[in-house]
Structures are given as structure tokens and as C-alpha cells.
Amino acid sequence: MANRRRRARKDKPGPAGFLVVDKPAGMTSHDVVDMARGWLGIQRIGHLGTLDPQATGVLPLAIRGATKLVPFLQAARKRYFGTVRLGKTTDTLDGEGTVISEYEGALPRESEVQKALEQFKGTIEQIPPMYSAVKRDGVPLHRLARKGEEVEREPKTVVVHRLDLLRFESPSLEIEVECGAGTYVRTLAHDLGQALGCGAYLSGLRRLGSAPFDIQEAHSPEVFEKAIQEGGLETVLVPPEKALGLAVIRLAPPAVQRIESGGDISPGEIERERPGTQVSALDTKGRMVAILELSADRRLRPVRVLPA
């Protein structure tokens, strides 16, 4: 705890918010976080949803006080573009692994693939891959896998909102997936291969969106580094209130002080809303102070307070 406080004191002051990084292939999500810590000279950075090293695309980073808001965003929908290779399986379920089986028969036709995809839409069960960050007795599965160990994993329920076949050119096919948090597209590719009887693995993956962030607002690490060096962080920073998408209210200094002390305030115009309604509260300078929630007794109470 003491070490954490010392690190926090060393953080350079600046605005809180989100950086939407277009992660390059070959970097882990933690590599990107470490890179951003170097750009900004701060420790308080977290990411929303791990991307595999070979995957590219949207990796939102929470900066400074915005790390407090990660739980409000990490369960959001994700959208991916994936390439699947039919006829082979690998130990990692993707192109980074070793081929462990190869199908000798005729590969399925497009109509068969289209039909098989239907069974993976909606609420489904997935078994997490061994090469994943899921933990068993406190140990990440990927560490066990690299030792040659394989353990039984409990299936988990995930939701696939949309699964479209975009292009079919055997032995490869391209898909677009919109899914809930916790869905493994690698497992989808593997399970599709099992359903078709020929095997398959995920040969490429690009995250197109992690709600509310989209690939169109993502930038390469080089763009962020240049913007920060030139003092233009605000030009690439998504404000926390924009990311949350809640109604915004402005607080006078006495109300800010009361909220930061854990107190409640009068709801003003929010009084007419339903209990449970949440809003983003900003101070007079535009800094986000807290997420407030309307209680049954018609008072606005802090749900999450951001550090000043």
C-alpha cells in the first residue's frame, strides 16, 4: 500500500480520460500500457479488455482518475473482424501456435459453413483456451500450457450478438463478430472447425470496437507519442464523461466539496428522473468529479468519485 502511494505521488498532473490505441500486432496489452506510462510519466493506467499479441485494433487505455471508471465500461460489447483457417488445428487455437492436426478430406462448402455458424449465435457455452489469462488455483492457464500441462476448465456462458460470414475462399473465411465481454474468438474458430468436422484455427484478429470506443477514433502508438511530446494530449484524449455517455450536470465548488467528502446533494432538474438514474458530475472547469445516482429519497449520491 505504501509503495502504491509513493508511485501515485510521482505521477505527473494532467487530465483524466481514455486513449483509444490501435494496438499493433506483436505487442501484448501490457506492453501498450507500459509504453503509455513512459509517454505520460504516470503509473495510473489500465486497459479495457486484453488483446492477444497477434491481434490488432481497439485497446482503450484509462488514464489517471479514469481508471476508477473501468468497471462501468469493461462489460460492454466488443466487435471483431477475424480470419479463420479451415482444415488445421493448433495448440493455441490461433496462428501463433503449433499445428497439431491436419484434415485430409474435402473441406466444407460455403453453405455448410454458413449453416454451422448459426449454432454459435446467441447465448452459448465456451471452454476457455489453455493459452489464456484465466487462472486455475491462482496460476494463469497460459503458464501451465507452456509447461505442457492441460487442465480441465469449466465452460463459461457468453453471448454472441452477431456472427456474419463476410467472405469465403477455402480454406480461409472472414467473419465479423459482435459479442459480450469474455468471449474468445479463438474458441469460436476452433469450435466452428469441430462442428464442421475438419478443424480450424483463428489466423487473424482485429478488434473493431469496444463500446463505446470505435476503430475510427483509434490511433497508432506513434500518434499518441507525438501528441504528448507536443503538449497536445487533449486532442487525442476521450473525456471520461463522453465515454460514459451519461447526462452531465455542473457542480458549484461547495457541491464538489460535499461530493468529494462522500455527502449527497440536491438533484435539481434530475429530481424528476427515476431512482437509480446516474449522471456524470463536472466542476466549473469541466473536470469530471464523480458518477452520481438518484436515490429513492430524491438525493444525488456519489457512486464513484474520481481523485482530484
Known catalytic residues are 52
Q: Which residues sit opposite 172 in a β-bridge?
A: 85, 169
Asked if 162 contacts 176 with a C-beta cutoff of 8 angstroms, the reply is: yes
Which of 16, 58, 12, 53 has its CA nearest to residue 31?
53
Residue found by looking up cell 449520491 in the block: 301
C-alpha count within 13 angstroms, C-beta hemisphere, residue 54? 15
**SS3 of residue 272 by DSSP:** helix
CA pair distance 84, 185, nearest whole angstrom: 10
Q: Which residues sit opposite 168 in a β-bridge?
A: 173
CA pair distance 88, 92, nearest whole angstrom: 12
DSSP 106: P
